[in-house]
Amino acid sequence: MFDTYNPPFTVEHGDNVIKVIKEEKDLIYKRFFRGTEEKELLLLNNDGDILINPIEPVNLPGKITSFMLVDFKRTVFIRPGDKKKIYLTFPVEIGVFVSDKGGKHEIIDIFTYSRVKYTLYGSHNKGLVCRYWQSEVFTDEPDTNILHEGYIELEIINDSGNLMEITQAVFNAYGMKIYYGDRRLGMKASMKIINKLLAETDFETFPTTSRFKRSMELYTSRKLMINATKGIMEFGL
């Protein structure tokens, strides 16, 4: 499903169908789920290509936050001064972009097949609202359903002098670099532990495998001014 398409076209993936019909210079965009039409758009005087790819999973049901919290199903312990790699899953949101002759991309549709849930990280008066996702902790790259889940290759660096217990990770979506292939998608990230209450997460601009392509990030396409891309975990690990 994830690719650039020249209208008219139809993309089918199981019960999911995206169809774009061309009428002279206009485009009619339709999205179906299990045979039911969920969205129809008329793109006037537009004959550009359509890009479908995974985007930062913090956009539905609306722009609530740029943070995602991954809740670990198993607690992780790491020794002082140690560096270890684990794998987590994350929910997939799918963005549909239309491009113009100058190569500029504009978002026209966002949808997901994963459950959308939000939670509060930290206190009620100073905490962060985060997209919530619970994940198993893996020591090897997991198998995932590309339309529902991706995986995060997370390197944990314990710069503290203590044995650290980790139960969650908070990420800033403005720093996400998602890469995808035919069957899987993933990101590379790091968590630097400073003390028992403070850690910093960030993403790397490298694919988890050389065969993956980089997705179009939604905040990049919108040309937003981003002041911070790191996730600061100051309310506990």
pLDDT tens per residue across all 237 residues of the chain: 899 999 999 999 878 899 999 988 889 999 998 888 899 999 987 878 999 999 999 999 988 999 999 999 999 999 999 999 999 999 999 999 998 776 788 999 999 999 999 999 988 888 899 999 999 999 999 999 999 999 999 999 999 999 999 999 999 998 899 999 988 999 999 999 999 889 999 998 877 777 789 998 886 544 444 456 788 888 888
Calpha distance 230→89 (Å, rounded): 19
Calpha distance 118→140 (Å, rounded): 28
At residue 182, the pLDDT reads: 87
Among 113, 96, 94, 114, smallest CA distance to 105 is for 96
CA atoms within 13 A on the CB side of 211: 5
Name the token pair of 177: 């670099």
Burial label, 90 (beta-carbon count in 10 A; 0-12, 13-18, 19+): buried
At residue 92, the pLDDT reads: 96
How many structural domains comprise the chain?
A: 1
Calpha distance 237→234 (Å, rounded): 8
Asked whether 37 and 31 are in contact (CB, 8 A), the reply is yes
Burial label, 186 (beta-carbon count in 10 A; 0-12, 13-18, 19+): buried
Residue 11 belongs to domain spanning: 3-233
